[in-house]
Amino acid sequence: MEHKRSYKYHVEPREADLTKRLTLAGLSDCLLNVACSDAKLSGYGSNDLGPNAGWVILRMGLEVTRLPEELEDITIATWVSDANRLATTRNFEVRDSSGAQIASAVSIWAALDLESRKPLNLNEFDFYSSAIQDFPMPNTPPERLTSPESLIKYTHQVLYSYVDANGHTYSINYLRMALDTLPLETITNHAPVRLDINFMHETRYGERLTIVSDGSPNPLFEILAADGTPACRIRIVWKPVPQNE
């Protein structure tokens, strides 16, 4: 396949925040949905990896020129650019209806045995070698984040609406928890430039998580499982948005 496969998406009003734009979490939802659809369409979806196997996202680096507005139509191109034994790279380019690129992302995934939680060897999936497309990555790869200087701590209990079909916290909900610790004005007075997110450990229904924030202008978050294991780290780089723009 010589082109990047594309998916259309319509921004529903319920996915927009006070800025009337798709939220950072909503955009991330979109990318994960597209990854899932594209893997399935390509013949290597979670169900194709074998019984009790599935794709899990390890890291994502997302760059944003502008977040799309509510009711806007966007197109998301996606392709796999690399795979080694333990991880594969999936890329995204988000374009508006004029064709202008408004966001991009590089994400790293592993295929897991869902019972042992151990990674499967991607080299053993013959069909996967045909997945690779030799287009350059659209932005720098996701960073490996370190723990923030502990400054502010919040707690969040994982309830029904936060878990996925496997009973684990749905990955983008860590981003929602982190954003929910910020004053509303911080979110509405800034536009995201870059998001790095590392998924390190799964958490389950009922767990009481701790969210640690360094409280800096470009905040670094760490979300800890009930036993103190780091589950997710997030850094957001913002730019101020002139009000009454």
Q: Interface with a second copy by CB under 8 A: which residues?
A: 12-14, 16-20, 23, 25, 29, 32-33, 36, 40, 70-71, 159-161, 163-167, 170, 172, 176, 179-180, 182, 184, 187, 205-206
Instruction: Enter the tokens of residue 178.
Output: 């982190």
List of residues 6+ apart from 126 with CB closer than 8 A: none
Query: In angstroms, what CA-CA distances link 127 with 43, 77, 186?
Result: 8, 21, 46
User: Which residue number, 70 or 214, has a Cβ lying nearer to a second copy?
Assistant: 70
Nearest approach, Cβ of residue 244 and a second copy (Å): 17
Nearest approach, Cβ of residue 41 and a second copy (Å): 11
Nearest approach, Cβ of residue 25 and a second copy (Å): 7
Beta strands in 45-118 (DSSP E): 53-64, 73-83, 88-95, 101-113
User: Which residue number, 130 or 166, has a Cβ lying nearer to a second copy?
Assistant: 166
User: Which residue number, 25 or 234, has a Cβ lying nearer to a second copy?
Assistant: 25
Nearest approach, Cβ of residue 16 and a second copy (Å): 5
User: Which residue number, 183 or 228, has a Cβ lying nearer to a second copy?
Assistant: 183
Q: Which amino acid is at 233?
A: R
User: Which residue number, 99 or 183, has a Cβ lying nearer to a second copy?
Assistant: 183
Nearest approach, Cβ of residue 24 and a second copy (Å): 10
SS3 1: coil
- Partners of 191 in beta bridges: 239
Following DSSP, what letter does each residue of 127-188 receive, concatenated? GGGGGB--PPPSSPPPP-PPPPPP-EEEEEE--GGGB-TTSBBPTHHHHHHHHHTS-HHHHH
User: Which residue number, 72 or 82, has a Cβ lying nearer to a second copy?
Assistant: 72
Q: How many CA atoms lie within 13 A of 94 on its CB side?
A: 27
Nearest approach, Cβ of residue 4 and a second copy (Å): 21
Nearest residue to 162 (alpha-carbon basis) of 149, 171, 150: 171
